[in-house]
Structures are given as structure tokens and as C-alpha cells.
Amino acid sequence: MAEVVITLGVPHTPLLWRLSRPPIAEDLTQVFANFERFASLLRDSSPDLILMVASDHFRQLVTSNMPAFLVGKAPVFRATHPNEERSFGLPRAELQGDGEMAQVLLGHHELTESFDFAFSDELWLDHSFLIPLLYLTPDLDIPIVPILTNTNAPPIPSSRRFADLGEFLRRRIEESDLIRRVAIVGSGHLAYELGGPRQFSGGSSDQTFDIEAVTWMADGAVEDAVAGCSFDRLLDAGNLTFQFLNFLTCLTAAGGAPAAMAEGTECRFGNEPFFAWMESQ
């Protein structure tokens, strides 16, 4: 039987990559220390598979073709788009997939009753997947199943739907006949604005939201998080704050337990999210 061995939520800010080489700026020291800590936690949990919950940034999925939830089931995924190489210095990569687990999530001959996923054998993953993997698994040697969520183009799935997704993922993993130790990793943001007047303002675009969101994770307060993540509230916090919903999926995938670590690490990009749930906690 497959089992969830650890659940992590991390940032994927692509501008971090060029700044992660010594000398490390003082305001980023704790961000990279947290990534190192999480890499150690992941390594100690010895996963066979990483199930990743993240969002495409209009590089492959666009407003004319935007499924609510999509499972990647290819044996190999390429990562890094040309503009990410140019702008962020990210390397090109090939990531191994796990088609068997992807098929478990989708259903075999029929889609599961809980989620009507879209699926793809041709995903080209962007920094929302690669940045976490580069820090957590530098050798990129653990197979992944990517789950892309629509946090970009209205209509966006409700916060309740993201919570249901986490419960569904855990249930399908644990009911599977596959022998897998599964790490669930979500990536996204706390309050964050891109292209608007609060972009790179030297702090969070909504400090109040960040404090509330970290508290939800620390307390395992699923219903408070669902209620607090309405469309209007997330939009008011910043136009990329919708990616916080990926962490709501992580919270419920971890059984709604209080996070062993919940932090919004302050730096030049705002507050970078770090959440961890260990199954033995």
C-alpha cells in the first residue's frame, strides 16, 4: 500500500535562483536555511515519489485552455521554458514521472467519482515545479507526479474545492495497491502582487493576510482557511495570492493536522511560505 510520508509547502519565487549563490544577502539567509532544512526533512523521509501541487504561469496553459485540475502522466517531463532561462538563469531539466501513480489519481477505465481531472502526456513544467525541486532534491532523482491547479484564470476553483483535493489525494494514495512512499509538495505564495502597484514594495502586499494564513497552517484550521480564502479576499491581498490555495490542498492532504513548521519568512520579496507536516509528528 502507498503511504504519505511527509507534506511540504514551499515558495517558488524564480528570482531566488540567481541570488542563492554566495555571498548570500542578509535578508535571504533564512529563506535558504529553510530550504536546506526542508531538504533534510525530505531526505530523512525517504520518499519514492513526489506528488507536486503547483500552478502553471501561462506558459503552457492559457486563458483559452485552462483546466481546473490537471494530472501529468508522462514518463518524462521537461522543465524550464526559454524565457525562464533568460530571465532567471534556471537550468533545463528532465524530470522522471510515475505513470502508475498518475493513473491511480485519474482512475483506470473511468475517471474517479470525486474529481474530473484533465490529463497530459506533454507537460512542459515551469519554475513553480523546478524551483522547489532544485532546492529540495538537487539531483532531481525522485520521480514526480505533477498536479497543475488553476489559480490564474477565473473561474478559479473555490477554496473548498482545493481542500477537497487534498483529502482526495491522500485517500487515493492510501487506497492504492502500489508500493510507494509519497511526499506531497505544494508551491505557491502568501500575499503577492505581480505587475501591480504593490509589486516589490519591500514587504508583503497584505501583512494581515500573511499572519492569518500562517496561523491557519500552524493550527490546522481547515475551516478557517476555507472561509478566509474567498475569491475577493485573495484578490484583495494581491493578484498572485490565489496560489496560496495550493497550500490549503497540502493542509488537508496532511489530514488537517497542525503544521510542525509554519512560517512566512520575511525577505525582499515579501513573506516566503514554509510549511511542513511530518507523519510521525
Where residue 115 sits, what CATH number does that domain have?
A: 3.40.830.10
| β-pair partners for 272 | 265
pTM over the 0.85 mark: yes
pLDDT at 201 over 80: no
List the domain range (segments joined by +) for residue 269. Answer: 3-278
Separation CA 68–CA 140 (nearest Å): 27
Main-chain phi, psi angles of 14, to 5 degrees: -70, -25
**Percent share of the chain, pLDDT over 90:** 87
pLDDT band for 112, please (50, 70, 90 cuts). confident
pLDDT band for 1, please (50, 70, 90 cuts). confident
Number of domains the chain contains: 1
Q: Are 187 and 131 in contact (CB under 8 A)?
A: yes
- Residues 47-59 pLDDT 10s: 999 999 999 998 8
4 burial level (CB within 10 Å; 0-12, 13-18, 19+): buried
pLDDT at 36 over 90: yes
pLDDT at 121 over 60: yes
Separation CA 259–CA 281 (nearest Å): 9
Mean pLDDT of 147-166: 97
Main-chain phi, psi angles of 104, to 5 degrees: -60, -45
